[in-house]
Structure 1
Amino acid sequence: MSAFSLSSDGKLAITASETSSKNDFDYLVGNWNIRNRTLKEPLAGSDEWEEFDATQEFRQILVGLGNFDIFHTELGGKPFEGLTVRLFDPKTRLWTIYWADSNAGKLDDGKVGSFNGDEGEFFGREVVAGKDVIVKFHWDKRNPKTPIYSRAFSADAGRTWEWNWYSNFSRR
């Protein structure tokens, strides 16, 4: 998987795996049902989870150097949409994953990483619950018909991780 290190000024340095390629996300092309499980209060010592269903449409763009998906669900009784844009840099062999949603209306700073075989890891920084955290996305496509996405936060520079989101995919 991609590896990360921290520079003396706290910036993330990410290295691609040897197997990283522009085809890493090809398994997601098409339409999906998603069962989501999210930690209600990340980084608060909570063990209370919420579950909800969503759908997603995924397609390739830029002659395979990118892709996007649209995520649809209802949160708090209101429609919610998310947009993911993934771009592959053939020089570094790294993917950057950007997210925008109907609450914020803007792209985030992106998470960077790669796949090593059937598992991928992607890292970035965010402020969550007032804390500067490292975010890790994990994609598991060992069974490409039922892939799993998960997310974790680390408030201690990557020494420990709190897993706070799981998405289990099945074909529509």
Structure 2
Amino acid sequence: MSENDFNFLHGRWRVANRKVADIVGRGTEWVEFETRAEARPLLGGAAIIDSVFANDWEGMTLRQYDPAADVWRIWWASTRAPGHLDPPLEGRFTDGHGVFLGDDEVGGHAVKVRFDWTPGDEPVWEQRFSYDGGETWEPNWIMRFTRA
């Protein structure tokens, strides 16, 4: 675990997205679309910022490593919620797999949020929500990255 954990993400990407169409309503219909992304290191490698570009929205992620706590924190913001920065998720990589957890509110309901990162030449990010305190997890967004 180090400030180099997200180095695999540096650069430009084509991103295949598979997402639940209505996350707020806990829908079951999935939609697929492509985005592009670009990630770069900041603060001497202890942080990474990326931008995600879709046809009708733009998002950004800030990830920052805290060496004292030995964790990464991840924040998300997008043009779909102007002026809003989501609460951070916190976690680490273990045995080549990153798990990051946090609390948020979706559609007026408290949820636990989980990000899973599988690094590599074609990284995969998955988002899951839990409405029962982490007993069960519902996947709702998967992103597969390919170098642009």
TM-score > 0.5, shorter chain as reference: yes
Deviation of residue 118 (structure 1)?
1.3
1:154 aligns with 2:135: no
Give the TM-score taking structure 1 as reference length: 0.81
Q: Deviations over 1:137-164 (max 9, x none)?
A: 00011xx111100000000010000000
Deviation of residue 94 (structure 1)?
0.5
Gaps of 5+ in 1: 1-19
Q: Of the two, which has the highest radius of gyration?
A: 1
Gaps of 5+ in 2: none
Which amino acid in the other structure matches residue 84 of structure 1?
T
How far apart, in 2, do the equivalents of 1:110 and 1:48 lie? 27
1:34 aligned counterpart, secondary structure? strand
User: 4+ residue stretches of structure 1 with deviation over 2 A?
Assistant: 41-47
Mapping of residues 23-172 of structure 1, within 5 Å: 23-42=4-23, 44=25, 46-74=27-55, 78=56, 80-105=57-82, 106-141=84-119, 144-172=120-148
* Maintained 8 Å contact 1:43/1:162: no
Give the TM-score taking structure 2 as reference length: 0.94
Identity between Structure 1 and Structure 2 (%) = 37
Tell me the number of residue pairs that the alignment of Structure 1 and Structure 2 aligns: 147
1:11 is matched with none
Which amino acid in the other structure matches residue 66 of structure 1?
A
How far apart, in 2, do the equivalents of 1:62 and 1:155 lie? 35
State the Cα RMSD in Å.
1.3
